[in-house]
Amino acid sequence: MLERGLEEKTYVLNLGPQHPSTHGVLRVELEMEGEFITKADPDIGYGHRGHEHMAENRNYQQFLPNLGRVDYLHALAYNQCYCMAVEKLLGLKVPERAEFIRVITGEMNRISSHLLWLGAYLLDLGAFTPILYCFDDREHILDLLDRVTGSRLTYCYYRFGGVPQDIDEEFVAGTREFIKRLRTRFRDYDNLVTKNVIFIHRTRDVGIITQEQCLEYGLTGPMVRGSGIPYDIRRSEPYSAYPLFDFEIPIGSKGDILDRYLVRVKEMEQSLRIIEQALNKLPEGPIMAEKVPKRIKPAEGEVYAAVEAARGEFGCYVVSQGEVKPYRIKLRVPSFANLSILPELSVDTLVADLVAILGSIDVVVPEIDR
């Protein structure tokens, strides 16, 4: 056959933009040699909405609802980061009760984000059942947060100087009940997923990220902790009320997909611990700082605030020129940095493994495009 001049060609395969395992509109251009990938090139920008530019032509408050749309799965952390940045500019001191409410709701939101990842990721790997259990649990969180924030997904709850509405007894009782419930459910997840032989064989020793690679690519969040680096903004640069709570930072050892999975599951348990402590210590008092100006007009200056979102470090850089509109806002999103390692990880893997790796990065594509 070869004698007749059949050329060898690399085969180009498009994964996405409408592939269900890309979790949004992400296209990955794959160059294949037989079954194996020689080059993977993520193509981003399908969902570009220009959030950073929108910030430049509206007031400080008017940019608040945009933050819930950057990463819709852990929207409250993004709300908090922007509020923290502007509070730094204005020199506002947030009352303790408001900080506690922010921690409780933010951690609840983190659990809901991880639960959705867990279900959707296992769906990528071909396990259908877990997503039903995950969404059952997630539904409880959404109902609880709905009682407090008024929305179920794209929250716009925090304000400069605190939170606009207080939490009530029913929310506290409901959250305590939910903590108890989720702790019993972790055993089911263990039996259903973590011990499952098919899952282990799909994920063990696949997509290994070394510690050097983590630092080179600027990875954050569960990606870097899965490789064994205990880097967590909540601990390394404590913000809000986090220094008051006792929690561990789960880390992996090898840096493969299984480690990243375990880190996320353990993180949910730690989040439950934080919520429990915060509910026990919840102080009384005001929920809004005194003397919040009606017209937000910070003095000239620039600040950077960072929070630990479900996917890693989210940073917000605000430049003010002493006007009612910010001069520039830069959003540092974790998924963008985390996705950048995909081309290196995917060399010499099968397409099925690429899907497993892509899912383990936990990308939220609107956040990359923003």
Partner 1 sequence: MINYFKEILVGFWSLLAGMAVTIRYFTKPIVTVQYPRQKLTMSPRYRGHTEFVIDEETRTHRCIACEMCNRICPSQLISLQGVKVDAKKKLPSRYIIAYQYCSLCGLCVEVCPTKALKWSDEYLLCGFTREDSEIDLLRRLQDQQYAKGWPLTPIPRPKPEEPAPAKGEEVKE
CA distances from 243 to 236, 239, 301, 341, 370 (A): 10, 7, 27, 32, 31
Residue among 47 and 218 whose Cβ is closer to partner 1: 47
CB 60 within 8 A of CB 356: no
Residue among 158 and 247 whose Cβ is closer to partner 1: 158
Shortest distance (Å) from residue 152 CB to partner 1: 9
Longest dimension (CA), the chain: 84
Which residues from 261-300 bind partner 1, rule CB under 8 A?
A: none
Which residues from 175-194 bind partner 1, rule CB under 8 A?
A: 188, 191-193
Q: 291: which strand partners?
A: none
Two tokens, residue 42 = 């993520």
81 touching partner 1, by CB under 8 A = no
Q: Which residue has the tokens 């940019």?
A: 63
Two tokens, residue 123 = 């769906």
Residue among 154 and 340 whose Cβ is closer to partner 1: 154
Answer for which of 33, 41, 143, 216 binds partner 1 (CB under 8 A) is: 143
Tell me the site size for partner 1, rule CB under 8 A: 34
197 touching partner 1, by CB under 8 A = yes
Residue among 28 and 268 whose Cβ is closer to partner 1: 268
196 touching partner 1, by CB under 8 A = yes
Instruction: Please give the distance of CA 243 from its chain centroid, rounded to a whole number.
Output: 21
Which segments of 17-150 are extended strands (E)?
Answer: 27-33, 36-43
Fill in the per-residue mask, 34 to 63: x = in contact with partner 1 (CB under 8 A), - = not in contact: ------------------------xx-xxx
Residue among 12 and 198 whose Cβ is closer to partner 1: 198
Answer for which of 26, 64, 263, 354 binds partner 1 (CB under 8 A) is: 64
Answer for which of 69, 176, 254, 273 binds partner 1 (CB under 8 A) is: 69
3-state SS assignment for residue 192 = helix
Backbone angles phi, psi at 36, to 5 degrees: -100, 150
d(CA 108, CA 40): 35
d(CA 73, CA 78): 10
d(CA 55, CA 318): 10
Report which DSSP code applies to 18.
S
Answer for which of 36, 46, 133, 317 binds partner 1 (CB under 8 A) is: 133
Q: Which residues bind partner 1 (CB under 8 A)?
A: 58-59, 61-66, 68-69, 129, 133, 136, 139, 143, 146-151, 154, 156, 159, 164-165, 188, 191-193, 195-198
